Amino acid sequence: MFDEKVVQCFLENQLQLYPEKVAETYEEAENFLEECMAVVVNSVKEVWEFFEEEGVDMEGADEEEILEADEVFDVGDGRYLIVEG
């Protein structure tokens, strides 16, 4: 479900969302993402749409603030991983 780049991104940056590591290995990270039903989107617009659909209050927020949310991981290729904490 999640490709290598997405899993590696989460594995390397998981401390931005959690106070301690939730996964030590690639396999643990992949399983964690599947269990928490993380989502990969293809653009900033889709990140915004995801938050709107989830009912997250974004009033007054701009694009930069949305991308700085702890739940949003920049995969580095234009995609974003969203992990609900």
The percent helix, strand, coil of the chain (3-state, each to 5) is: 45, 10, 45
pLDDT recorded at residue 61: 84
Helix ranges restricted to H, the chain: 4-13, 26-35, 44-53, 63-67
In tens, the pLDDT along 23-65 reads 999 999 999 999 999 999 999 999 999 999 998 888 888 888 8
Q: Which residues contact 27 (CB under 8 A, 6 or more apart)?
A: none
In tens, the pLDDT along 3-25 reads 999 999 999 999 999 999 999 99
d(CA 79, CA 50): 13
State the pTM of this model: 0.92
